[in-house]
Homo-oligomer: A and B are copies of this chain.
């Protein structure tokens, strides 16, 4: 979902997407394991000389971001949690003690990364986190918001947030925006929903602009919760940047899921054998074009 947001916001940028399908899901793994996986991916991307790297996954951001930033100080890098937390605090506006909810994977919740990112910006807030581990497998099974099982799961997961009257709800996993409509229906239209993928793309655009590294125009969003509709009404900007994808397992399954997630066909991803020597094995394949990798 971050890729489709980046494509929409930065249509002229060349993107490289790396999907670690051999090791997914990250959502119930340990910080040590997720750091190791992310480190391998960053090492793989480095020879492409990316102008920016996005950790486009809440769990990976929560568990590996700070370690990776320290290990690769030369790298311009960002994640999805800071932009999501910033947008949540902004959405809370002038409320005295806003109630901010976050739904996320088990590992993201356990990491307390969202609490830290929110409280750093605003110390008067009630923050509630809820792990919602079934939503990703439900989405990957092809279920949509009108599936009774999805609705039942959302009612269970969101019940305590409804009772405790959250004002803002962060969709703290990049898959969850696919269920945005169903989530809004269950939690009520009063609650502002924050799409961490969308916020992440806006954040990348700001960072590139600040450094004078933008290719082409930034496509401005509407307000958070209606940005999809607004973008659609304006007509999509023609995408001139390239998109290359790499996966560690099953390129066909990935291409199938991606077409459903991104709402567009992608070229068959390149398979990278996972393992300690990830980078070594594929350097040749990717050494040709001087890519500006962003995802």
- Counting CB contacts under 8 A, is A217 at the interface? no
Interface size class of A (residues with CB under 8 A): 20 to 34
B152 and A141 form a contact (CB under 8 A): no
Interface string of A254-289 (1 = CB under 8 A from B): 000000000000000000001111000000000000
Q: Which of B29, B133, B152 contacts A148 (CB 8 A)?
A: B152
Evaluate whether A141 and B133 lie within 8 angstroms (CB atoms) in the complex, with A32-B249, A33-B250 already known: yes
A250 and B156 form a contact (CB under 8 A): no
Q: Copies of this chain, how many? A: 2
A277 cross-chain contacts in B, Cβ below 8 A: 276
A248 cross-chain contacts in B, Cβ below 8 A: 33
- Counting CB contacts under 8 A, is A137 at the interface? yes
- Counting CB contacts under 8 A, is A124 at the interface? no
Cα–Cα, bound, A23→B152 (Å): 29
Which partner residue on chain B sits nearest A157 by CB separation? Answer: B149
- Counting CB contacts under 8 A, is A140 at the interface? yes
- Counting CB contacts under 8 A, is A253 at the interface? yes
Cα–Cα, bound, A253→B153 (Å): 23
Cα–Cα, bound, A193→B179 (Å): 35
A32 cross-chain contacts in B, Cβ below 8 A: 249
Which partner residue on chain B sits nearest A40 by CB separation? Answer: B275
Q: Which of B23, B133, B152, B253 contacts A137 (CB 8 A)?
A: B133
Task: Give A130 Cβ to nearest chain B Cβ, in Å.
Answer: 12
Q: Which of B21, B134, B141 contacts A138 (CB 8 A)?
A: B134
Which partner residue on chain B sits nearest A273 by CB separation? Answer: B36
A156 and B152 form a contact (CB under 8 A): no
A137 and B140 form a contact (CB under 8 A): no
